[in-house]
Structure 1
Amino acid sequence: MPFAAPFLPILRDPPLLLAAGLLVLFGAHVASLAPYVSALAVTVFGLGDGAYSVVLMVASVVAVASSIGFGIIADQRANRRGVALATAVFLTIGTGLVPLAPKTPVFVLAHALLLPLSGSFFGQLFALARLAASLHPDPTRRAVLSTLRAMFALPWVLVLPVWALVFRAGAPVMLVYPVCLVLAVTILLCVWFWWPRDGATRWPDPKSGLTFRQSLREIWAPAILIRVLALGTIHGAITLYLVLIGLVFEAVPGRGAADTALYAGLTAGLEVPFMLALPLILGRVPQVKLIFVGAAIYAVHLAGLPFLAGTALVWVLPVFAAIGGAVVLTQPMAYLQDLMGDRPGAGASLMALQKLVGDAICATVFAAGVAVSGYGLTAATGAALSVIGAGALLVLDRRRR
């Protein structure tokens, strides 16, 4: 498959093009905010490591509960545009409150409640993309979905180096909030004007016909949950990296926010070409085996970050982060969507459930690790758990076959 081939269906299909554009905007929002939230919580808003762990846990519960609820409702009523609008509104309000009232209670409200309520927007974007891509042949569909995930990573390449320059020039880190507010408003307007009207799409999107309880029972089936748990350990490693990156560089003399932006930007910049190259091997390597290899490579980057942060060797780690990240940021998501067949809302719910498991693992490992030893033990524990989870998934699928 030519390198540019996955882009052609996206450019020719308005809903896929909308999904790509929204993923770029949403990626820019997350890239501007996520690497700095933990450091801002501690250094600006006065939250300790333990208090911030509680915020992370509450945010995870809110995010997964709302995502499962929104996903089930979207499948039941086939009203995906309404759900996307609601989550975009939460994103806008949650982002705007912090710069308007920069107080600790407002920060906690935004990051523990409002922004987590917008978390299902990512899943709704991929539900839209999956439905639109269903009109294409299966190999094209897989390549398109992998390419769209790369669109979410692309802003990290462009945005974070700019933030590095801005912070080196002396700008306050709180500047990320008004910039993210502009992005959130743009996302809301794009959804309002261009998201396909429910019931008027080119692809079939029937109502699920399941009650809320039946939908929950389907999601909570043991065979599904054990796989979500295994994949959650991988998501926990990714989340732990975002939590630790700012804190690790802030703790090293001579480093700070600019180095955080540079490291995250290098990682995302290298992730994009690896993600775009994934369609060349999809179908040739079993998906679960690919996930295991990706998790092992990503673990090298996570475990090594606290120990190498003060040395020049730290700049080698983004290579491991990008190669592993290209796999663990795309294939678990595709795996979960395939588990739920033709119910993309339920697939989005599984993605949220995986995120809850990952965030819970991240919060637990972070709280225990910093209490016992520090960031080094925290990172090593998260890395080890992700490899164990990927190995468990490999064993489970071998037994199923």
Structure 2
Amino acid sequence: MRSLELFRPFLADPALRLAALLMMLYGAFNASVMPYVSTLAVNAFGLGDAGYALVLVAASVVAVASAVGLGILADQRASRRLVAMLAVSAMLLGMVCVVVTGAASAFVVAHALALPLSTVLFGHIFAYARLAASAHPPGARDAILATLRALFALPFIVVLPLWSLAFSHGAGLMAIYPVAATLAALMLVLTIAHWPRDGATRWADPRSGLSFRHALRELAVPRVLGRVALLGTVNGAITLYLVLIGLVMAEAQGRGPADVALYVGLVAGLEVPFMLATPLVARHFARNTLILVGTVTYMVHLVAMPLLAATPFLWLLALPAAAGGALAMTLPIAYLQDLLGNRPGAGASLMAVQKLAGDIFAASAFALGTWIAGYALAAMLGAGLAIAGITLLWLLDRGPVGAAANI
């Protein structure tokens, strides 16, 4: 499939076009905020390494509780528009709180409560796109989801160099908040204006008919929950990268926020072609084998990043980061959706459960590593957990249980 063909469904289908626009704006939002949160927490707001680790854990609990609850609600009532509006409103509220007060308490509220609530949006955009993709040929679904994930990374190429330029000309890190608030406002306008009202879609979106307790029991099946937790080790290593990059650069002589923006932008820019190539590679290899290969490749970058941060060799790490990250971030989306194939909202909830597990792994590795020796050990612990987790998942899915699960 040529690159232009990958984008054709998004150009022709208004529903997928909305998903693409929201995903790119969400990517721009994350590109503006996520690389700098740890530096702001530790250095600007004075929370310290231990305080920021607690914010990460609190954020994870809020994110998974809201995502599971809202995911079940979305499937029960097929009310996906309401969920999207709530998530984007939380994004906007969190950013406005920090802009208005500039206080450490507002930072904690935004990053431990408001933004974690908004993370439900990421999974629900994919759930919405998966439903819209049902109107397209069956073989196109994985390509549509992989392309949508690439569109999340695409804004990093533009946004981060712009932030690098702004920081090099004297802008402060707090400037990210009014910009992020503007992006959230744009997303809210798009969601209100163009997200189809419940029951007004071209595709079937039946209500699940499950009670809340029954839906929770479905999510808690050991076959499902165990695999989500193992995938969470990979998500944790990716989260740890975003936590460490600003702190590692701040410690390295001659580095600063502009270098953070350039490095994260370079990694994201290289991820895009690798993500677009993922459907082609996935035709020839098993999905979980590619996730394993991608994870191991990504961990080379994570472990080496603190060791090479002060050297020119740091920039070479962008290649394994992008190649490994493209596989480790894209393919688990379809994997999780297939675990509960007839529940798009619950499938989106599994992404939040994976993020919870990942954030707990990341916070644990960060707290333990920095307590014992520093950022390099934290990276090694995160990488070790990820490789162990994904290897166990690969071994599980090779057996009859994995085959029976159709994954």
Letter of the 2:301 counterpart:
H
1:60-113, Cα deviation, whole Å (9 max, x unpaired): 000000000000000000010011111111111011110110011111111111
1:193 corresponds to: 193
Instruction: Give 1:130 shift.
Output: 0.3
Partner of 1:294: 294
Deviation at 1:283, TM superposition (A): 2.5
- 1:142 Cα deviation after fit: 1.0
Shift of 1:333: 1.2
Summarize the alignment of residues 81-96 of structure 1 with structure 2, pairs less than 5 Å apart.
Answer: 81-96=81-96
Once residues 4 and 296 of structure 2 are traced to their aligned partners in structure 1, the CA distance between those partners, rounded to angstroms, is 29
- Shift, 1:139, TM fit: 1.9
Find the counterpart in structure 1 of residue 6 from structure 2. Answer: 6
| 1:224 equivalent in structure 2 | 224
Shift of 1:217: 0.3
Name the SS for the 1:6 alignment partner. Answer: helix
Q: Which runs of 5+ in 2 are unaligned?
A: none
Question: Could you report, residue by residue, the CA deviation over 1:340-368 in whole angstroms, capped at 9, with x for unpaired residues?
Answer: 01210000110000000000000011000
Deviations 1:359-385 (A, max 9, x none): 000001100000001011110111111
Aligned to 1:345: 345
Give the match for residue 387 of structure 1: 387
**Cα distance between partner residues in 2 of 1:273 and 1:293:** 17
Hey, what does 1:42 align to over in structure 2? 42
Q: Distance in 2 between matches of 1:141 and 1:50?
A: 42
1:253 matched residue in structure 2: 253
Equivalent-residue separation in structure 2 for 1:267 and 1:281 (angstroms)? 20
The equivalences for 1:137-148 within 5 A come to: 137-148=137-148
The residue number in structure 1 matching 2:184 is 184
Structure 1 residue 320 corresponds to structure 2 residue 320: yes
The residue type paired with residue 299 of structure 2 is: A
AA paired with 1:194?
H
Secondary structure of 1:329's match?
helix
- Which residue is equivalent to 2:69? 69
1:58 corresponds to 2:58: yes
Q: How far apart in 1 are the matches of 2:3 and 2:282? A: 13
Cα offset, 1:6, TM superposition: 1.2
Alignment-derived partner of residue 156 in structure 2: 156
Distance 1:356 1:306 in 2: 25
Task: Give 1:162 deviation, angstroms.
Answer: 0.7
Give the deviation of 1:278 after TM superposition.
1.1
Instruction: After superposition, give the CA deviation of every residue in 1:156-181 in whole Å (9 maximum; x if it has no partner).
Output: 11100110111011110110000001
TM-score, normalised with respect to structure 2: 0.98
Deviation at 1:285, TM superposition (A): 0.7
Q: Secondary structure at the match of 1:281?
A: helix
| Cα distance in 2, alignment partners of residues 393 and 135 from structure 1 | 32
Partner of 1:206: 206
| Partner residue in 2 for 1:363 | 363
| Whole-angstrom distance in 2 between the partners of 1:118 and 1:127 | 15
- Deviation (angstroms), 1:140: 1.1
- C-alpha deviation, 1:138, in angstroms: 2.2
Q: Which amino acid aligns with 1:317?
A: L
Looking at structure 1, the residues matched to 343 and 6 of structure 2 have their Cα atoms a distance apart, in angstroms, of: 24
Compute the displacement of 1:3 (Å). Answer: 2.1
Describe the SS at the equivalent of 1:206: coil
Per-residue CA shift, 1:98-129, capped at 9, x if unaligned?
Answer: 01100111111111111111110111101100
Compute the displacement of 1:243 (Å): 0.2
CA distance in 1 between counterparts of 2:303 and 2:138 reads 37
Name the structure 2 match of 1:98.
98
Secondary structure in 2 matching 1:158: helix
Which SS does the other structure have where 1:135 is aligned?
coil
Tell me the distance in 2 between the aligned counterparts of 1:335 and 1:3.
23
TM-score, normalising length from structure 1?
0.99
Match of 2:284 in 1: 284
Tell me, in whole angstroms, the C-alpha distance in 2 between the residues paired with 1:204 and 1:355: 28
Q: Partner of 2:282: helix, strand, or coil?
A: coil
Partner residue of 2:131? 131
SS in 2 for 1:112: helix
Alignment match, 2:308: 308
| Divergent runs of 4+, >2 A | none
In 2: Cα distance, 1:55 partner to 1:272 partner = 30
2: CA distance, partners of 1:209 / 1:312 = 57
Aligned partners of 1:220, 1:373: CA distance in 2, in Å?
37
